[in-house]
Structure 1
Amino acid sequence: MALENLTPSDEQIKSAPNPNYLEGDYLKGVLEMTFRDGNPVAEKLVDEIFSSRQIDSIYLVGAGGSNSYIEPVKYILDKYCDLRIERINSTELETRRPKPVNEKAVVLLTSHNGETEDTVVAARWAKTTGAVTVALTSGHDSGLAKICDYLLPYSKELPGMPKTMIAYLFAAHFLKRLGNPVGAQLIADLEAMPAKLHDIKNAERERGMELARRYKDENIYYVLSSGILSALNYQYSICIFNEMLWLDASDIHSGEFRHGPFEVADPEMAYVFLMDNGENRKIDQRALKFTRRVTDKIITFDAGRYEDVSPLLSPFVIGVTWYWFAHTLSVLREHPLSVRRYMWKVDY
């Protein structure tokens, strides 16, 4: 049975809300609150879980943007601890049913409102295995929060950065508990992050808006990244370009570019590179160098420009530099980021 036409009218699209959380001091205030309230909760939760039983693996579970926001945590824990760390889509956790999800596993499930059906189903299955389940959500009384053993809450004010900050605090306190100095340093850096991001977002405003003006008429974007940023290209492709702007986009790992995707490189294609000063920079630079031989339609968002920010925190920097571009693009194309055709409207 065909779906009815649910596309909003041009008037409805243009009149939809389109707030820009980068204006003023809003982002700084929300992140300061997130750290202040979330830091002691994350510390207590980590101590309770890891002092109560032996843990061999941590599974990071989510869908859509929530799935990508927790990739940096996998990167950090892979790099600095000996446990098995996996990130997996909510639906696939329940269908795959990994054997290591058992009484020696922590399953951290994330959903902004705590009612994402796929993630709630995954939480119910994880509970049957004896694993420790943790809900990372702003829905403090949500279905997900009620199912899980523990709650890592954050404010409803923003869906992205507060969630990422709380996930980072979970990882940082775990590393601190292990005696790894990276944990304590991450906590200190996260406390300083709201003020730093405030300055960075002000410095990046004009560049981001100019890039949007220059590339507002593109119909497809290829987004490349690697390392700790390797899920942001996925998020920006499916969440911003596809979901919010109704534009075609493809996310490509920079290390995979030469293994197929560069065959469709074309002077008329627009490429977006997300970069930092981490160990993977050489991978991004190699892909960027080739792309420059094909086209000049290249947009770079480079956290490496801010040398006083650890590469481990580059997702926060990219988040604000990118958002100026994305929001301005939505304004110029008269397509607010809040508009949806199917999401929250149809059964799936």
Structure 2
Amino acid sequence: MLNFDTDRFLRIQSGAIDLADGLRDAVARCLREGAQNLFFVGSGGAGILMLPAARLLQTRSTFPVHVEAPAELVAGGSVHLGPHSVVVIPSLSGTTAESVEALGYCKSRGATVITLTGHADTPLAEGADHSFVNFAEDDTSCESFYLQSLILALALMQERGEITDYDEVVADLKLLPKLLVDVKQGFEEQAERFAAQIQDEPYHIITGAGSTWAEAFYYGMCILEEMQWIRTRPVHAADFFHGTLELVEKDVSVITFKGEDDGRALVERVEAFAPRYTDKLSVFDTAAFELPGVGARTRSLISPVLLATAFERVSAHLEVKRDHPLTTRRYYKRVSY
């Protein structure tokens, strides 16, 4: 595979899953100490990657869950944040300025802070009540963060008696690192073809629903926009018909991410509409990926993981075909803002 280190990938994704026992212990301790709500507080891409776990809890648990941008939380506060709150702050670098400020703010309100980072000797890792570190870089962080936050959410529901299959799902997840490599290998030729197909496209509409919305949002904003400077309109499939549909016409690229959860039908509605007006509809369905030994229940939870692992291959080819390295930036961490 193009520019891919299999051993490194396996090490990072296995490392994320190896945090399961520690994450469950931390969640159990927080509940014993009287936790009454949970906040996911992440900046940019790291925050987006928490959305599937947050949505899972919001729809399958009665435990109150809030999703906040760090800068907005610090600026506006929340009446729900206090000594009985647990705050999850993800940051690959562990140094994201807004997240570091949010850490201090949340602790000043008496909240218990759990951080998920890629580096131990950083302000977020060192300042947390419960710190979980799994080294990753941009090309491997999506799966790692999706898996860590999913495990945390499942642990919370298991400890509260809202599910009984935590151990079975985690056992399935332990199979994933090697299976994800197989997914990448099986998708490699399609990834190269798709990269060639879109390398000169000036604009995309990208959509998903359920757990795949996060990956549509992330890939549009953090890869196509930030790393490739391609104008992109991420839109939730539930909102597609409330504005964005008016932008669909001949030669407009529409990309759909379809998963194996309750959001699937919403994406299929977009799929049924778009071909009537554009000849550039691209559909990516996680059901096409084979995962021997992984049950339907687990598959329904990991659609964004599968899309992230497949589309990393698209990114690898896209940067070569466009002669635009994924690390190139004009402003991000280059100028003051």
TM-score (norm 1): 0.89
Q: 1:83-162 residue pairs with structure 2 within 5 A?
A: 83-157=63-137, 158-162=140-144
State the shift of 1:103 in Å: 1.2
State the one-letter code of the partner of 1:189: D
Stretches of structure 1 lacking an aligned partner (at least 5 in a row): 1-18
Question: What is the correspondence of 1:190-201 to structure 2 with a 5 Å cutoff?
Answer: 190-201=173-184
- Alignment correspondent of 2:22: 41
Q: Is the 8 A contact 1:304 1:311 kept in 2?
A: no
Q: CA deviation at 1:176?
A: 2.0
Return the match for 1:204 from 175, 187, 195.
Answer: 187
Structure 2 CA distance for aligned equivalents of residues 72 and 190 of structure 1: 16
TM, length-normalised to structure 2: 0.92
Q: Equivalent residue of 2:174, what SS?
A: helix
Which residue is 1:168 aligned to?
A: 150
CA distance in structure 2 between the aligned counterparts of 1:75 and 1:21, rounded to whole angstroms: 33
Shift of 1:20: 6.0
In 2, are the aligned partners of 1:175 and 1:182 still within 8 Å (CA)? no
1:228 equivalent among 205, 211, 218: 211
Q: Does 1:74 align with 2:57?
A: no
- Structure 2 Cα separation of the partners of residues 129 and 115 of structure 1: 21
Question: Identity percentage over the alignment?
Answer: 23
Change (3 A) 1:162 1:312: same
Q: How large is the RMSD of aligned CA atoms in angstroms?
A: 1.8
Question: 1:154 touches 1:166 (CA, 8 Å); kept in 2?
Answer: no
- Evaluate the alpha carbon distance shift between residue 61 and residue 135 of structure 1 in structure 2; reply closer, same or farther with a 3 A threshold: same
Note if 1:60 corresponds to 2:40: yes
Consecutive unaligned residues of structure 2, counting only runs of 5 or more, are 292-297
Moved more, 191-200 or 64-73: 191-200
* 2:41–2:68 CA contact under 8 A, matched in 1: yes
Aligned length: 328
Counterpart Cα distance in 2 of 1:165 and 1:21: 23
Contact preservation (8 Å) 1:152, 1:166: no
Report matched runs for 1:245-260 at 5 Å: 245-260=228-243
Residue 3 of structure 2 contacts residue 316 of structure 2 at CA under 8 Å; is this kept in 1?
Answer: no
1:88-132 deviations in whole A, cap 9, x for unaligned?
A: 211111112111111111111111111100111111111111111
Counterpart CA distance in 2 for 1:153 and 1:24 is 21
Distance (whole Å) between structure 2 residues aligned to residue 88 and residue 59 of structure 1: 7
More displaced stretch, 253-262 vs 151-160: 151-160
What amino acid maps onto 2:197 in structure 1? R
Give yes or no for contact 2:183–2:290 (8 Å, CA) kept in 1: no
SS for the counterpart of 1:110 is strand
* Residue aligning to 1:326: 315
Aligned to 1:344: 333
